[in-house]
Amino acid sequence: MRHKKADVQEFLTSQGARRGRQAGQRTKDELATDMCQSAFAGNESHVCCIVREHHVDINIGDYDGRTAMHLAASEGKLNVVRVMVEELMADCNPVDRWGGTPLDDALRHKRDRVAKYLQEKGAHKGLMSSSASQNAASEMCKVAADGDVEHLKCLLNVHGLDVNTRDYDCRTAMHLAASEGKLEIAKVMTEDFGANLNPVDRWGNTPLDDAIRQRHTGVQQYLQGRGARMQGGAPQQH
């Protein structure tokens, strides 16, 4: 009856079947799916109706951990995002199965107004702010190369990533920080998270090799002062 299968309903009734408590009702899962679809479409009034009248948790996720907030952010539906945050008390930082947050969705799809609003509300980047195909190691390396200290801390503290995780070339975030001259990143990874100063990439280079080769004297001196070693034979810079 709930799914309007009249022929099946008629047959079951003829065989003496009885209705249960859910016959005229939608399940919580169905309501949650409806809520996500409404957020995706920009229908904030229907989202409010589902939460308030059917007592559905605004933060409930689907099988991929995607919430109404993820969907609204992905589609740039600022009106829905604002209502969910300010009226329905939605969490700004739910994490889906890929480690992505609503802010990641807004940034990845260039929904600038939504991204700005979420950042003002304290939203964090997750693992998927740049590309749907990036894995944790690639994201760590990109963040280090960009010098984004706050995102780095979020990845390590909130998402629990290993500071020494390696990408497909066996390069770590420390390699990228050294190669790009990001001294503050190198310091945070070393002093706050105990990063390995001497990982060797697929070409046989350490972070110190990268710093020397790219003439980033500040990073070079810092790494040397912490006991970092050369491995790949980069010429020493004095």
DSSP notation for 177-209: HHHHT-HHHHHIIIIIT---S----TTS--HHH
Q: Where are the domains of the chain?
A: 27-120, 136-225
Q: How confident is the model at residue 1 (pLDDT cuts 50, 70, 90)?
A: very low
Domains 27-120 and 136-225 share a fold: yes
**Higher pLDDT among residues 24 and 145, named by residue:** 145
**Mean pLDDT calculated for residue range 102-110:** 89
Residues 6+ apart with CB under 8 A from 178: 186, 207, 208, 210, 211, 214, 216, 219, 220, 223
DSSP code at position 99:
S
**Higher pLDDT among residues 21 and 205, named by residue:** 205
- Provide the pLDDT for residue 238: 41
pTM of the model: 0.55
**Higher pLDDT among residues 155 and 6, named by residue:** 155
Q: Are 36 and 67 in contact (CB under 8 A)?
A: yes
* Measured CA distances, 28 to 61, 87, 124, 131 (Å): 11, 21, 28, 32
- Provide the pLDDT for residue 125: 87
Please state, rounded to an integer, the average pLDDT across all residues of the chain.
86
**Higher pLDDT among residues 161 and 200, named by residue:** 200
Cα torsion through 208, 209, 214, 216, rounded to 10: 20
Residues 6+ apart with CB under 8 A from 77: 39, 40, 41, 42, 44, 114
What is the distance between the terminal CA atoms of the chain, rounded to a whole angstrom?
81
What is the second-level CATH architecture of the domain 27-120?
A: Alpha Horseshoe (1.25)
88-92, 118-122, 138-142, 219-223: which range is least confident on average? 138-142
How confident is the model over 111-144, as pLDDT tens digits? 999 999 999 999 998 877 655 444 677 888 989 9
Fold of 136-225: 1.25.40
- Provide the pLDDT for residue 168: 83
Task: Give per-residue burial for 68-92: e unless 16+ CB within 10 Å, then b.
Answer: bbbbbbbbbbbebbebbbeebebeb
Residues 6+ apart with CB under 8 A from 12: none
| pLDDT at residue 20 tops 70 | no
- Provide the pLDDT for residue 161: 81
| pLDDT at residue 31 tops 70 | yes
- Provide the pLDDT for residue 136: 73
| pLDDT at residue 57 tops 60 | yes
